[in-house]
Structure formats: structure tokens, C-alpha cells
Amino acid sequence: MVGDGHVINSKQVNQLLKFFATAQNGEGANHVWQYATLSGVALDITNYNSYINAAIATDQLGRAAEIVQEIRQRGLQPNTYTRASIIRLYGRLGDLTAARQAFGAACRHAEVPAGIAAVGICETEDAWAAQAYWKNATEDMRVSGVNIHVCNEMLNVLGLNGLVDEMRNMAGHLLGMPNATTAAEISAALASGETPHTHRGLRPNIQTFHILVRWHAAYWDLDAAMEYARVMRNYGIDPVSKTLKLIVTAETAKRDVRKCSEISVAMRRELDVLVPGSVVRILERASEETRKMEEMVRQAELQRSTLFPSADYVDENEYPEQLS
């Protein structure tokens, strides 16, 4: 198209950026953006969102931060996707303060539970005004406020940065169980007949649960990860094969292949989740490695018993005085 003299439009820019992000091709995404800007394409906030996501996906975090600065300089009005992308960016950079500020700005003037807003809220009005990245040009919170996608990003940032307790607390509010701080407590409350009180625009989706499952599994709490998978159906969401793949990874299987096998069977029997071939192969490899390790330990024990005889055994040739 470019060779024929055609000029791509804004929608095509987004499509190309999404393609190169999926293909993990940062150079391709940069070329698309360079061509779009030099050829005079009317770029809007959706294009900037797509480029930020492409830069993050291809691990160009510095470039993504530059794009955010350019949005500010141009005075573009951010939308919910912009805020979600910025929270993800600062989470990847490890700048939890900036991530909290972006989340707090999204929660501003929105009717969200205190336990959720507290994650990013500033102490005073002046502090918020000084730290906010934009002053909203619109009061329409559907356009620039907080939604479940923004909350999911903040939830993921907490997990990424090891703040598991805070992640659980925020999850309790998102799941309508503000007094429950663990998967087991949520499960027990639901089993007792308690009805979750979720909030409009903040109803948990499958991504919410996958974030919780992923980080609990990553921090070796496989029981909690499985419990969140069980809870999903109470919110009208069925666990899928990807849910199991987030729990049974090469790392978790290597650490405890027996536990991972039990979870795979439970997911199949209790939740009717198809066990994918990739999980089966992971378990097979981990089982084989475990068998090899056990055999190495056994051989080492055998060698130890001959190299280091017990105290009851004394060689009469080497220590004749002990036998006299």
C-alpha cells in the first residue's frame, strides 16, 4: 500500500500495531508509527494506546514512557484504556508510586468501594492535583474513569510487585466480599450462602480470576490458586484450559509434580476442564526429572554407606587396637 502511494488511516494503524505486538516485533511497530506520523495520519488517543501496548508487549518500556509523555504534551484526553496501559507500564517498570497515582486518578469522582480506591488514593486534594497526570476534560467516567479492566491492571501490578496481601484485599472488594482476604474465606462465605455484592462496571471477569490464579501459583500457593479456580463458577465464569495452564507450569511442576498432577485431575473431575496436551507434557517431563533425581539420591546414599561406614563397623586391619 505504501509503495503504491496509499496513506493508511487511523484504524489501519491500530490493526498493524496490534499485529506487530502479537508477533513480538518491536521494530515493525516502530516503523508503522514512524510512517503514520510522517505521512500525516490524524492520530487519536486510540492510536497512542495501541502504540503504548505494542511497546510494552515488545519490552520497549523506555519508548512506552516516551509515548506517555507525548500524549501529555499534545494535551490528548486519556480514556480508560490509556489509564490501564499506563498502570501496566509503571507496574512493569517497578514504579509502584506512579502506578498508584494513575489508578487513583482513574478512581477520581467515581463511585467505587473504598477498599479499591484506597489502593491509589492520595491523602489530600492538593496531593492529588499535584500528582495527577491529567485533569479530566470530561466528567463522563465511562470514557475516562475506572472500570474492571483498569482494576485488573492494578491487581496485576500488586501481584507483579509481590504485594500479595494487598492484592487479596483488593480482590475481596472486587469480588464483593470485602471481609474475606483469602480464596478459602471467599469460598467458605459463598458456601454458607453469602451473596457477593459486586459493583456496576466493576464486575469481575475471567481476567480478574486469572490474575489471582497466576500470582498465587507463581508464589507457590497452589491450594489458593486452585480455590480461586473453584470460586469462578459462583460468578458465572467457567474455568478453562488456560486457567489450569496458569497453575501447572514448568516451574510449579518441577517443584511439586505430585501436587500439580492432583490439581490437574481435580480440575478435570470437579470443574470439567479439559487438560491440554501442553500440561500433560509438562507433568511427564517433571515426573521423569523427579525419577532421575530420586535415583541420583538413592545412588548417593548407597555410595555414602560404603565410603562412610557406620560406627558399629571397624576395619580390623586399619584399627587393630580398637579390637584388642
Predicted pLDDT of residue 270? 94
- Domain count along the chain: 1
pLDDT category at 294 given cuts 50, 70, 90 is confident
Asked which of 48-52, 61-65, 193-197, 282-286 is least confident by mean pLDDT, the reply is: 193-197
CA nearest neighbour of 139 among 165, 111, 170? 111
Residue 157 forms part of a structural domain: no
Residues 3-25 pLDDT 10s? 666 778 899 999 999 999 999 99
Residue 259 forms part of a structural domain: yes
Residues 245-258 pLDDT 10s? 999 999 999 999 99
Residue 75 forms part of a structural domain: no
Q: Is the dihedral of CA 230, 231, 234, 235 positive or negative?
A: negative
Asked which of 27-36, 158-167, 290-299 is least confident by mean pLDDT, the reply is: 290-299
Say whether pLDDT at 313 is over 70: no
Residue 138 forms part of a structural domain: no
Predicted pLDDT of residue 125? 44
What does the alpha-carbon distance between residue 241 and residue 288 come to, in Å, rounded to a whole number?
23
Please give the backbone phi and psi of residue 294, each rounded to the nearest 5 degrees, phi first.
-65, -40
pLDDT category at 242 given cuts 50, 70, 90 is very high
Asked which of 16-30, 107-121, 223-237, 309-323 is least confident by mean pLDDT, the reply is: 309-323
Asked if residues 73 and 96 have their Cβ atoms less than 8 Å apart, the reply is no
Predicted pLDDT of residue 103? 87
Residue 294 forms part of a structural domain: yes
Predicted pLDDT of residue 312? 54
Residues 37-82 pLDDT 10s? 888 888 999 999 999 999 999 999 999 999 998 988 888 888 889 9
Predicted pLDDT of residue 194? 86
Residue 287 forms part of a structural domain: yes
Residue 240 forms part of a structural domain: no
Mean pLDDT of 316-323: 50
Predicted pLDDT of residue 202? 83
Asked if residues 171 and 207 have their Cβ atoms less than 8 Å apart, the reply is no
Q: Which structural domain, as residue segments, surrounds residue 273? A: 247-308
pTM for the model: 0.81
Mean pLDDT of 79-90: 91
Q: Is the dihedral of CA 21, 22, 28, 34 positive or negative?
A: negative
Residue 214 forms part of a structural domain: no
pLDDT category at 180 given cuts 50, 70, 90 is confident
- 115 versus 20: the higher-pLDDT residue is 20
